[in-house]
Chain A
């Protein structure tokens, strides 16, 4: 089994129930695995949630924890994927003083070149949003940091897989069993 530590994206389709996040995070915690990022949202199926979790572990570990997730009653299906098998991005938000926009013309170039979007502008501050890979958001943060950032936040990874997930078929099979 491959013992190399790699970044894996774990996708877990679940029922939308209170307490499930606790059950899932406990599985990592118990094995001393640090969560790099965690996002949860509605999935493509009404009433079914999807967790997207990034961890740095070995493939052997990934296989074993997938078994532990699937064992949970309210987990419909869990998968692990490598970066090559997914399309993924993150989102960053920057709150910056508005006068910089006028006093530092370079900022306008940075915004343009980075394909960041201006979400709002008022007298005191403006808000930039940048979606993309981690390094793109990080590079924008470094560029803007020179001028001063009032607030910065970056989301966890969201990702879709290249392969089909077939959750709807799975749910139908559950209902017919």
Chain B
């Protein structure tokens, strides 16, 4: 079964070809075709995963063909199936398939229906390449491919100015990260002479800490772009202009986690470079806190979820930074379940409010009381919210708590505090969203009210499946903490932090030993209690402010308007970027344009003037001298031929006479010389 891994990306290719080339003829069948292809890929993945999980496991390379062979650089197109890529494949193809099915209902009637599913399958193909590649170059191809699909799908409704702007923004911001990824690849090749994972990681232990950190930081720049971390996170909230299934699949569950996957994949290099790890931990924690705080006050349902995604990605990087690679991948998986669920749920809500005015469809201030109108959406959404808030035994608790515990036990206390605060905010803003959307009185536009309805089964069935996964997706693979199935399964793929690598770790280990030995004992219990308290506290606060005492938010805003506007304006990061980067770039561009218009064009026009003058002179020379010589020869010949032509009398006797005369003269000359 594992040898059939090449089939996984083949099905989406077929889908792309059918829907892309014959979209007009396929019409409404595009959705089922694309979903079927995604489903077939999912089946193959299930087979492979079954063999990997219940069979021997291990790591398998499936070579397909040699791709680049130039000098000492040799890159082959081959796939790597190991525990890490198996987990990623399950997430990508599973959530991808569900989103395809959901989109069949959600996108129904859209004029770009076949185009949408072409892009969606193209995305699946790129994502599979990214995950399956056994070297950095194949990963990069997938990396760029998902970036392209992200651009295409964000700008799917390109007639809308904001959508096409958001697409461009995502693409341009991602380019910055991609440049870092490329440089990181160059450095890896310079250091190890290879791009294949196995060979690079064999050489990794010989790297100096500085070089390993340099590689790590460059690759992390790529991850920062793709996974929307500070300072390149700005594109992700704007990416919500795309259709909601796209937000669920690309901007929550799969593509944005590519950076996490890449860092986890590169873990053998990262453990050699502690400085890079620290940077990742700090950036992750900052992003987690920063984005969560923005999410507190946003009113657009999808933007809340977008900032939540940025924040949760921050959690994953926090985990990577403190060396808890398994926890990061675990959180990636659970996050894919519940954030995919939340996005699809919000899509269901937006779908129901289809008849409301455009600017009110996604605004929570114009929702409320939807609980009874759409029960399936409500209950699944509630499960997703509880899962992300971190209430046991739902999925989010196990992975998030593991990240925070790892941060604590490796001595990153600042990171741990920031993470805990962010977790509190997460619980709060998620339930603020729930209460504003589904509870309280209905504030929907009157015309739209009678059109509110539960979504069709193609949309609710994926919701239910994802809700089930959000319930059991954490406890089954992750229990008991730090010793669950997923830890044993992923162990061969991920590097371990060297014990006692940091001076700080030493102290921590001593302290842990004093506190009851290792990762068990009173400290763990305390952390778990604290995590649950934080989650429940956030929910309770949201309940108090948005159900019990609905005047509270207004009073709070009155007392601290500065902070409120700072958060509502998203810390004015977009405006700062506009002023510090975009405007200077425009200025530089205008300056260069002036230079181009004045100097470059001047030089070009000047040289053309010189050419014209010199050609005028050479034209005169040609007319007078060269033509004169030619015509002179001709008229010379014509003049003399006028004279001599009379010799040709046509009379044979004349000729004979001249001939005889000649002979006579010659003979005379001969005889009388």
Same complex origin of A and B:
no
Binding site for A on B (CB under 8 A): none
